[in-house]
Structure 1
């Protein structure tokens, strides 16, 4: 081997290892979507003071450490550059200040009154509100008002570290810059009053604020409009005496401010008549403007922030609307299932109920098989015990593990084997259909076992000449593991309860591949099994509906199938089911405009299938996303109560479905854990199916590895040696 070859070998090995380490796309895309949603929710909570908010308020303490020049000085405190000065505005000047905004309802009304009376004011905005309503900040500046910082989340800064104070200042500046393209040097601490209220806790904060380049603005008169004491009382509280200057505190946010707006509309002309001027703070102080234009990278960074906040609010709004939709869909589905499945059970279980004369003629049973060496013996053995006369046709679809040889070696009467090159399940079923002798054809999977009565129960509905297909009752045979128990719950509740509902509505969407029967005439009229989709069972069922046949459910026709035992295998199966169902819905979309009796499926079934099997599962993760959000950021109690409420509804439906199927309720103990873990997996699978469909991907058929663990139905002992092969037959 030459050095070049060796290097090439190492490079190839490195590339292979890199590919192996790479996160699979089926995990990467859903994870990315989930991460984006969580990031948007976090940002929304951050800008709505749900995250990092601190609502503690410290009571006043001693003030012996506060300089006399501050406590006895003016309401404007300048500690920049080591100064310690209390500044006052000039006589006959009033500086109106508004805290806690901007508010989308009240701030525009305040601005309108100020514009009406040609007055200027100072708005001390919080970063959260400025981020969410940047257009109002922009309007303030454009109309000549001044803007100051009022922190980001409105905490009492005496409780906060210097790092948190810096964060509050920088984030507030970011919001103002993104909204109006300026930087301000004015600051008002939350929960502050006048200079006389400065104490030993707030003074160090004020000095630190000054060291960061800000002037602290307190008040002379508090209108106490937040108490809503009445319009005239607000005016009296805001009115200075003897022509003195003053800084007046009002609010344009934080609640109902209609009294503030009304008081302002009376206060301005009244005080102007007394010779007062309403100016900005810097004008009243005779100081340079507090606003500094921002350009370059700082401006773009701030604008990106505003766009992200708007996106977070928009996306959260959409998510909340979707959560309401999923809530309605979940309750509607549960309600329909409970009511209609009960009607179905009463109808088919009432004494004397019959579909018509007993169906006793022989039927054909098709068993498509591809590498089913571990299961096929059990499958065929269960059929030979059938109480109904049958012929069994095993179609070996190019198996490489000796499946056909196993069946042939069993040498059972009435069992035939048809071999073909690997062409897929639909082709195998069509090949078997061509070789059948009887008018009724039962189809089952090669990993499934029937009870002795299954075929008899399955074919009785064909006594009604309008019935073209019958769905059986598929059961999970290997339910002794946790993942098996979860699938058992899903089969009993999610599949069979659904089938009862769809039977009553006469729009059954799927004949399960594990246990279903068809009238041969119906199959031939729709062209047999199609390979247009990966859900050939759903595809053929929809086609039969559209041809005008009835499709019904036979609850006593039980079949026991081997469910996937690993997450990987379960993922592969459900991914194929989800994607195939989407393909079938799209293929039969014109059913929506079908007329006559055959159009019932398009009018009722297709919308329900689309809502309950595609849209609702896609939106259902929002329940858990908002659960997580509520647990972390609140309201925790209401969030937990809502989640347990949904769980209680699901448990009621599950318990009822187990009662109808005469199943032991013991597996339902794992229902809460199923909702937390198993359901999330199903969500991600469906999301991946959506992504595959929207990107035009093509999913191949994925063969599941079986272990042959379902050897016989309950109550029917397995024959010795039925599960013998542990690997491919050679």
Structure 2
């Protein structure tokens, strides 16, 4: 889409001479949406990826500091209130314990087997898994099982600070509170084993855990089911000798646990026949329950946590679908652009290609101008150098800077000035159309300069009587700055490759306001320029299609426009374009069901414009969001390679577009930075446009601030760009 500059008078100044600095709502609301999405994604990655877990197994250490009665004692260690006591399970009582869950696949199967054989157990759950599958924790509690803490992220606590230990416990409790409204007083350290494996690294942790009110539970019978040794071997290792009581270690998460489930189904009835009871811990010890109900603020904090984790999973799933959609759209667009642009280039440049008889009759060039004092002289002089006969009509749309007087003072033949009160660009163009003498109308902006051959190249397609409008090749003249270079890449890669593609598909969506031509009779048939939308050029183009006219692209009809030179100006321009395009799509929505040749645009063009210009740009930042997610949570290497692959595809398309337009490749150096920063700006602009459209808001045009740095083309046909502090800069006339 080329440069559009709708004219309106200056907005009234605020009464307050020292306005407060506030974050604009147009920036704040879309930014908050992006931040919220990022936060949800980060929360999901934090809960799923266990980013804080170290997964290190503690090496052997000395046992000098561990009391003998602990090393020789039972699997329940009580260090609360300064005690140093170990407790054993009574004979013929077994406490089955399951670590690392809950798991959505295997925990329900374990629970089913326990319920089938009327047995209770203890599940030592991690905070991450509890947060993701709270319904399983609720089922554990409802069916009479006990739930214990197994930290939040499963780190080796022997290597953690007290602050980290406190955090692991509190987050684990927070997840339990949100999942089942409970708090637990039993704890099992990750990577723990028998009591006699306690050493000088783990013992201080056990003591500290006791000061927080927890019983530490290890085990004295290990099924080693994580090794998957077979059902019989799991049963053998889990069975205590001589009818003694025991705490049996099993796992309901961390991998394929089908052997555990099968072994459990045989183990329970076999030992029950031998007189064993399968109780939870406090039942086996005849002690008060380890679970207490949570209420008040702690309960609501837990519920809020579980809600946020669930929301993050749901939003992430939607974002993944969105990423898939945008990926498919981006690839489809690139493939279409590359293939069809190549077809277009070969068709246009092959020998003997002509639209029809050469068009040599004079044309009328309309130049709507509102406060273009810095640019208008360059614009008019570039038209006077035209190789094609033209009459120039400058429509002064209520300028307050002397734009009309500058043109009149030039005293050039075939240049007329028409004055009107400020009424906007469509009205100015319609006024110029009413004063035009010729049957072909060229329209351009007051900040644009033409090459000598531009008008001639632009009007040749009218040799085909089916052509009603022609789009020219708009280029950025002020490309020396970073933001100008980014727009230069966008114009060459996006707009002009798009126009080649749409030309082949015969559904060109926009005649750029900076350089376009129309058959007068076609304009009159559709009622001239409309002010129904903020994108009058897109509106008139869609109206042409619906009226049955062909709209084509003339790549050699180059016009050099002054692009916005600040983020604020760029924001204002693109906001209008995005919102105006949405208005035009909605206005011409009936084209979707129209039949005949005029319905081709509705069947092909309108869906493509909606997908490529409205939907895909809105979802495009997901590529960068998931890049950040992958770098933080992994797999980092694959993520970076995938992102570089997308960038390589874009660079290939950009290089091909630059080659077709015969542009220097040096500007593509800034392409990676453009893809990271520029895309986010366009996302926020488009999101703001969606919000404005959905809320029924109204958008006013604002005049872009011009500097007049793009001068008329030289002998080589390329416009010169003067420095901003040049003495030739024209001051506005008072």
Q: TM-score, normalised by structure 2?
A: 0.95
The correspondence of residues 650-729 of structure 1 with structure 2, limited to 5 A, is 650-713=650-713, 715-716=716-717, 724-729=728-733
Rounded Cα–Cα distance in structure 2 between residues aligned with 1:265 and 1:580: 67
CA shift, 1:724, in A, is: 4.2
1:92 paired residue number: 92
CA shift, 1:14, in A, is: 12
Contact persistence 2:477–2:721 (CA under 8 A) = no
1:505 and 2:505 matched: yes
1:385 paired residue number: 385
Query: What are the superposed Cα offsets for residues 170-209 of structure 1, whole Å, 9 maximum, x if unpaired?
Result: 1101111111111111110000111011111011101111
Q: TM-score, normalised by structure 1?
A: 0.96
Rounded Cα–Cα distance in structure 1 between residues aligned with 2:349 and 2:470: 17
Query: What are the superposed Cα offsets for residues 581-618 of structure 1, whole Å, 9 maximum, x if unpaired?
Result: 11111111222111121111111111111111111111
Relative to structure 1, the CA distance from residue 677 to residue 431 in structure 2 (aligned partners, 3 Å threshold; closer, same or farther) is same
1:622 and 2:622 matched: yes
* Farther-moved stretch of structure 1 (55-64 vs 171-180): 55-64
2:257 paired residue number: 257
1:159 and 2:159 matched: yes
Rounded Cα–Cα distance in structure 1 between residues aligned with 2:419 and 2:575: 29
2:546 paired residue number: 546
Contact persistence 1:90–1:285 (CA under 8 A) = yes
1:314 paired residue number: 314
1:410 paired residue number: 410
1:66 paired residue number: 66
CA shift, 1:379, in A, is: 0.8
CA shift, 1:727, in A, is: 2.1
Q: Which runs of 5+ in 2 are unaligned?
A: 1-13
CA shift, 1:546, in A, is: 1.2
1:374 paired residue number: 374
2:9 paired residue number: none
Contact persistence 2:499–2:508 (CA under 8 A) = yes
Rounded Cα–Cα distance in structure 2 between residues aligned with 1:125 and 1:14: 62
Rounded Cα–Cα distance in structure 2 between residues aligned with 1:373 and 1:670: 32
Contact persistence 2:449–2:561 (CA under 8 A) = yes
1:324 paired residue number: 324
Contact persistence 1:377–1:723 (CA under 8 A) = no
2:11 paired residue number: none
Q: Which runs of 5+ in 1 are unaligned?
A: 1-12
CA shift, 1:458, in A, is: 0.7
Contact persistence 1:708–1:723 (CA under 8 A) = no
CA shift, 1:725, in A, is: 5.0
Query: What are the superposed Cα offsets for residues 15-68 of structure 1, whole Å, 9 maximum, x if unpaired?
Result: 875x52211112211221122112212221221244323223321211121111
Rounded Cα–Cα distance in structure 2 between residues aligned with 1:189 and 1:124: 9
Contact persistence 1:138–1:180 (CA under 8 A) = yes
Q: In the comparison of the two structures, how many residue pairs are matched?
A: 717
Flag the structure with more relative contact order, 1 or 2, with Cα contacts below 8 A and sequence separation at least 6. 2
Rounded Cα–Cα distance in structure 1 between residues aligned with 2:190 and 2:684: 45
CA shift, 1:631, in A, is: 2.5
The correspondence of residues 321-470 of structure 1 with structure 2, limited to 5 A, is 321-470=321-470
Rounded Cα–Cα distance in structure 1 between residues aligned with 2:268 and 2:720: 98
Relative to structure 1, the CA distance from residue 675 to residue 282 in structure 2 (aligned partners, 3 Å threshold; closer, same or farther) is same
Rounded Cα–Cα distance in structure 1 between residues aligned with 2:252 and 2:701: 62
Rounded Cα–Cα distance in structure 2 between residues aligned with 1:725 and 1:458: 30
2:26 paired residue number: 26
Contact persistence 1:374–1:723 (CA under 8 A) = no
Q: Runs in 1 of length 4+ with deviation above 3 angstroms? A: 13-17, 716-725
Relative to structure 1, the CA distance from residue 518 to residue 82 in structure 2 (aligned partners, 3 Å threshold; closer, same or farther) is same
2:190 paired residue number: 190
The correspondence of residues 237-316 of structure 1 with structure 2, limited to 5 A, is 237-316=237-316
CA shift, 1:253, in A, is: 0.8
Relative to structure 1, the CA distance from residue 723 to residue 564 in structure 2 (aligned partners, 3 Å threshold; closer, same or farther) is farther
2:110 paired residue number: 110
Rounded Cα–Cα distance in structure 1 between residues aligned with 2:701 and 2:186: 66
Relative to structure 1, the CA distance from residue 14 to residue 361 in structure 2 (aligned partners, 3 Å threshold; closer, same or farther) is closer
Contact persistence 2:477–2:719 (CA under 8 A) = no
Rounded Cα–Cα distance in structure 2 between residues aligned with 1:481 and 1:141: 65
CA shift, 1:292, in A, is: 0.7
Query: What are the superposed Cα offsets for residues 275-308 of structure 1, whole Å, 9 maximum, x if unpaired?
Result: 2111111111111111111112221111111111
Rounded Cα–Cα distance in structure 2 between residues aligned with 1:548 and 1:261: 70
Relative to structure 1, the CA distance from residue 91 to residue 637 in structure 2 (aligned partners, 3 Å threshold; closer, same or farther) is same
Contact persistence 2:478–2:721 (CA under 8 A) = no
* Farther-moved stretch of structure 1 (558-567 vs 668-677): 668-677
Contact persistence 2:449–2:719 (CA under 8 A) = no
Contact persistence 1:183–1:293 (CA under 8 A) = yes
Rounded Cα–Cα distance in structure 1 between residues aligned with 2:268 and 2:673: 64
